[in-house]
Amino acid sequence: MKKTLLATAIAGALGASAAAQAATVYNQDGTQLDIYGNIQIAYSAVNDTDGESRDELQDNGSTVGFSGQHIINPGLTGYFKAEFEHDADEEKVGGGLNDGDQAYLGLKGNFGDARLGSWDPLIDDWIQDPISNNEYFDVSDSSGAALTRFTDDAVYGTDDREGDKFQYMSPVWGGLQFAVGTQFKGDNDSYTVENSAGDDVELDRDDSNASFFGGLKYAVGAFSIAAVYDDLDNYDGEYTSTGNSFDAGDQYGVTAQYTIDTLRVSAKVERFDSDQGDADADFYALGARYGYAFADNFAGDIYGAYQYIDVEDGSEFLNGDDSANEIVGGVTYNISPAMYTFIEGALRDRQDDEGDGVAVGAVYSF
């Protein structure tokens, strides 16, 4: 799940390779507007399903973003964010800002934070990202297992895990914080899936539906632990060809983190609990990220993660295997506060070494 570093660089947990730059274009009478973004280009060589290495020079998530806020009263602030992606490696034929990344509006204050729109699933932010929110390669996760199992042209579902959401996140009380939310898909929402031939097929939804997700986080000193549950309810429905109903199942996980100076270590237990056939998948992972320096000047990060995957029926997710060991790792080097380079590698333990590869790239944040 490749992500841009726009949010993580600002959030700054140790993993940020370089501070994101942002230009404030307006700041007056309690209203502020910022423009920010990055250019990311990478070269990768990754094994395909036949075990042959395929390489390319590609855009790696280049983004332009706009954010703003205004103070409604001393205890209440309205805000928004909108991010758009473009293909920096082939901009002449790429169509400019040709894809959306995330967009939402909200209110925050002493009561907490309530937002509406499109952004990463909570299980991404709280459970998966602390293990490997890397530049190019990440370990697999329960979202991939769910999508592999249920997204095809014969199944009710959704191709959009991020959109049409509402979420409330509480303030932090004595180190404790919680978040609850829902994703609503109306019966007027169509969705697109990829069939076995690789073609996109647009399907109509039969009924309106609201899913549920929630999480709990606790931090004390340098230690934190988070748990998240998602009922995947927008995947429930009927096979369009037979009319048989099914229940996709549930997705949940727990991640713990501990920070020592510039070292962060993390551990994860994550599960896709399928209620349709034997497709349960368990993920056990360890991750670490260390910020290194030369002559007291911060130079970059060294990071890596190991994961063991146990799948009850691996015919789809692991291409016939019931277990796999994954290792991903990399290093970044900061050229300046706004620019850095990286090199990463991955070993997936799949048939014919599928997914193994290396990548190098550069990022400029503005």
pLDDT class for 2, splitting at 50, 70, 90? very low
Is residue 22 domain-resident? yes
Looking at residue 191, its pLDDT comes to 65
Is residue 76 domain-resident? yes
Which range of residues forms the domain containing residue 235?
6-365
Looking at residue 4, its pLDDT comes to 40
The proportion of the chain whose per-residue pLDDT surpasses 70, expressed as a percent, equals: 82
Is residue 58 domain-resident? yes
pLDDT digit string (tens) for 340-358? Answer: 999 999 999 998 889 999 9
Task: Please give the average per-residue pLDDT across 5-22, as a whole number.
Answer: 41
Write down the pTM of the prediction: 0.87
- Tally of structural domains, the chain: 1
Looking at residue 236, its pLDDT comes to 75
pLDDT digit string (tens) for 74-133? Answer: 899 999 999 999 888 887 776 677 788 899 999 999 999 999 999 999 999 999 999 999
Query: Is 60 exceeded by the pLDDT of residue 9?
Result: no
Is residue 327 domain-resident? yes
Is residue 237 domain-resident? yes
Looking at residue 103, its pLDDT comes to 96
Query: Is 80 exceeded by the pLDDT of residue 156?
Result: no
How buried is residue 80: exposed, middle or buried, by Cβ count under 10 Å (0-12/13-18/19+)? Answer: middle
Q: In the numeric block, which tokens belong to residue 12? A: 């700054």
What is the DSSP track for 226-282?
EEEEE--GGG-EEBTTT--EE--EEEEEEEEEEEETTEEEEEEEEEEEESSSS--EE
How far is residue 347's CA from residue 353's CA, in Å, rounded to a whole number?
8
pLDDT digit string (tens) for 302-343? Answer: 999 999 999 987 777 888 889 999 999 999 999 999 999 999
Looking at residue 89, its pLDDT comes to 86
pLDDT digit string (tens) for 19-60? Answer: 456 889 989 988 999 999 999 999 999 999 888 899 999 999
Contacts of 105 (CB under 8 A, 6+ apart): 78, 79, 80, 115, 116, 117
Assign residue 220 the CATH number of its domain. Answer: 2.40.160.10
Is residue 1 domain-resident? no
